[in-house]
């Protein structure tokens, strides 16, 4: 069998051509089905990158500093003025503050509880299927033009094999719920280098021989079924072009302009030797710094080539209790805030330069926020009543703040924005929801998602 796959995920190798002969036209049939879906215009020509801030980021030290509040509440990292009059960010975000006209900040986002899980991106509200898996169910598993997986999840090992494996301690990023297991995200960077993970397992000479063999068999079949052969040949040829079309190159950052790679690189910002080893999470902090910028660059490269949904996460690093596992908020934001500020600002500038700002929606949030009161050790604990949410691009009006929080930063002072609102916003970016709602064969659990309302006030430009 000829496969291109991540060795850890042989169950769902993302391109398989071993069954092309005679009755097993898996990939050509898939491409034909995707072409049909595209022709019905269910899909919008847009992608989503979901930067999941695993562990629960603090709203105070990110985008709602509350510097007029008492010392036990306000941001421990101070504040920095943005380009939006009267709006400040936490002190570790100077670059994003200068790009605030490219951002929409939601200050009334409520995740509903303080549990460690994946609820904004994989939740019971979305019937246990990840948002990327929902997208792949509608769009098909691979882009029909490029062969790129339509759903991908990027952990630090996608760009650096020395980092730790992605954690599943608090949920499964590959969850598909009742949908086909084939809808699960493609997860690069498992058993070796990316190039090894994506390598063709059959020589090009043998592949070419197989092409000629199949064409010979088709000529015999033509006498029996001439009516369908033209479309079949087209799809089979497209399948071979997909395999030979350089999908693996998209996962190889060596193919990118070195100056762009350097602009994204967050590794120099937080050196491992400068991270306190007293925290059990110190390796996660180092992995975040080594990989975050390059993960966002890789996500952009995948979206350019047809991936519709990319989840990016760097393990369990935003849980800033100041306990045996985690640093407190002031120290933790040096490890986490500075790389995020650098990586997201590089992404925003890059996609604007490439004319992709309206085509890619970036979403940044975690599973909860942090308590309004700093604990006795200098950390903040779990808080489900308010959390930070950042969005950028997607064709929406940017340079705005949606909603307000109470004086102590613990509750919404305006109508709450919920996970359902966020999911609906993503659905409306990716799909023509009106057409999707009446689509034949739509799984019943998906119907409620088509009726939820997007984030109020987040208007298209």
- For residue 269, pLDDT beyond 50: yes
pLDDT band at 445 (very low <50, low <70, confident <90, very high): confident
- For residue 14, pLDDT beyond 50: no
Give which of 6, 335, 305 is closest to 153, Cα–Cα.
Answer: 6
Residue 18: other Cβ atoms inside 10 A: 15
* Bigger pLDDT: 227 vs 350: 350
Lowest mean per-residue pLDDT among 124-133, 316-325, 396-405, 447-456: 124-133
- For residue 235, pLDDT beyond 80: no
Instruction: Please provide the average confidence, as pLDDT, over all residues in the chain.
Output: 85
* Bigger pLDDT: 31 vs 270: 270
Cα pseudo-dihedral 52, 398, 337, 332, rounded to 10: -70
Give which of 186, 160, 169 is closest to 316, Cα–Cα.
Answer: 169
Cβ atoms 25, 232 nearer than 8 A: yes
Q: Which residues pair with 146 in a beta bridge?
A: none
Q: What residue segments make up the domains of the chain, in order of their start?
A: 1-39+199-248, 45-193+251-450
- For residue 104, pLDDT beyond 70: yes
**pLDDT tens digit sequence for 314-352:** 988 999 999 999 999 999 999 999 999 999 999 999 999
Lowest mean per-residue pLDDT among 79-88, 191-200, 391-400: 191-200
Lowest mean per-residue pLDDT among 48-52, 293-297, 312-316, 372-376: 312-316
Give which of 12, 49, 127 is closest to 309, Cα–Cα.
Answer: 49
pLDDT band at 234 (very low <50, low <70, confident <90, very high): low
282-304 and 329-353 helices, crossing angle to 10°: 10
Q: Helix H segments across 223-328?
A: 226-244, 247-250, 258-264, 282-304
Q: Stretch 154-181: mean pLDDT, rounded? A: 88
What predicted TM-score, i.e. pTM, was given to this entire model?
0.85
Cβ atoms 209, 154 nearer than 8 A: no
pLDDT band at 99 (very low <50, low <70, confident <90, very high): very high
The CATH T-level fold of domain 45-193+251-450 is Alkaline Phosphatase, subunit A (3.40.720)
The whole-number pLDDT of residue 199 equals 43
Q: Please, what sign has the CA dihedral across residues 110, 115, 116, 122?
A: negative
Looking up tokens 């994204």, which residue turns up? 264
Question: What residues contact residue 384 under an 8 Å CB cut-off, 6+ apart?
Answer: 110, 111, 112, 113, 114, 115, 368, 369
Cβ atoms 266, 337 nearer than 8 A: no
d(CA 170, CA 56): 12
The whole-number pLDDT of residue 95 equals 98
pLDDT band at 194 (very low <50, low <70, confident <90, very high): very low
Q: Percentage of the chain with pLDDT > 70?
A: 78
**pLDDT tens digit sequence for 30-67:** 555 555 555 467 999 999 999 999 999 999 999 999 99
The whole-number pLDDT of residue 125 equals 78
* Bigger pLDDT: 53 vs 188: 53
Residue 252: other Cβ atoms inside 10 A: 15
How far, CA to CA in Å, does 227 sit from each of 221, 231, 239?
11, 9, 20
d(CA 413, CA 108): 7
Phi, psi of 387 (to 5 degrees): -150, 155
């Amino acid at each position: 069998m000829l496969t291109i796959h991540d060795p850890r995920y042989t169950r769902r190798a993302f391109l398989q051509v071993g069954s092309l002969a005679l009755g097993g036209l898996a990939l050509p049939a898939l491409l034909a089905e995707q072409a049909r879906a595209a022709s019905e215009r269910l899909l919008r020509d847009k992608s989503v990158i979901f930067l999941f801030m695993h562990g629960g980021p603090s709203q105070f030290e990110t985008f709602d500093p509350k510097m007029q509040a008492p010392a036990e509440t306000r941001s421990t990292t101070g504040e920095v003025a943005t380009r939006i009059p009267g709006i400040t960010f936490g002190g570790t975000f100077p670059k994003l503050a200068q790009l605030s006209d490219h951002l929409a900040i939601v200050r009334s986002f409520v995740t509903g509880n303080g549990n460690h899980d994946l609820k904004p991106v994989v939740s019971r509200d979305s019937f246990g299927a990840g948002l990327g898996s929902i997208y792949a169910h509608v769009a098909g598993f691979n882009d029909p033009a490029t062969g790129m997986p339509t759903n991908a999840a990027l952990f630090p090992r996608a760009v650096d094999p020395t980092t730790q494996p992605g954690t599943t301690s608090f949920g499964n990023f590959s969850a598909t719920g009742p949908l086909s297991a084939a809808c699960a995200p493609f997860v690069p960077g498992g058993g070796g280098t990316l190039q090894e993970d994506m390598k063709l397992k059959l020589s090009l000479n043998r592949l070419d021989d197989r092409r000629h063999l199949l064409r010979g068999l088709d000529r015999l079949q033509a006498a029996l079924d001439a009516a369908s052969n033209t479309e079949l040949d087209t799809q089979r040829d497209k399948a071979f072009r997909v395999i030979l079309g350089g999908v693996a190159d998209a996962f190889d950052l060596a193919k990118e302009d070195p100056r762009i790679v350097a602009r994204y690189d967050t590794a120099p910002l937080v050196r491992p030797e400068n991270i306190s080893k007293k925290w059990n999470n110190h390796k996660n902090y180092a992995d975040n710094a080594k990989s975050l910028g390059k993960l966002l660059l890789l996500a952009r490269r995948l979206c350019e080539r047809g991936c519709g949904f990319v989840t990016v996460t760097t393990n369990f690093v935003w849980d800033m209790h100041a306990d045996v596992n985690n640093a407190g908020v002031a120290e933790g934001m040096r490890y986490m805030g500075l790389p995020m500020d650098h990586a997201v600002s590089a992404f925003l500038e890059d996609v604007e330069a490439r004319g992709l700002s309206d085509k890619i929606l970036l979403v940044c949030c975690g599973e909860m926020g942090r308590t309004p009161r700093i604990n006795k050790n200098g950390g903040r604990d779990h808080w489900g009543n308010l959390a930070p949410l950042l969005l950028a691009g997607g064709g929406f009006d940017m340079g705005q703040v949606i909603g307000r929080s109470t004086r102590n930063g613990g509750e919404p002072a305006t109508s709450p924005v919920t996970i359902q609102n966020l999911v609906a916003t993503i659905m409306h970016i990716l799909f023509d929801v009106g057409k999707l709602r009446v689509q034949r064969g739509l799984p019943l659990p998906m119907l409620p998602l088509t009726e939820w309302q997007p984030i109020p006030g987040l208007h298209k430009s």
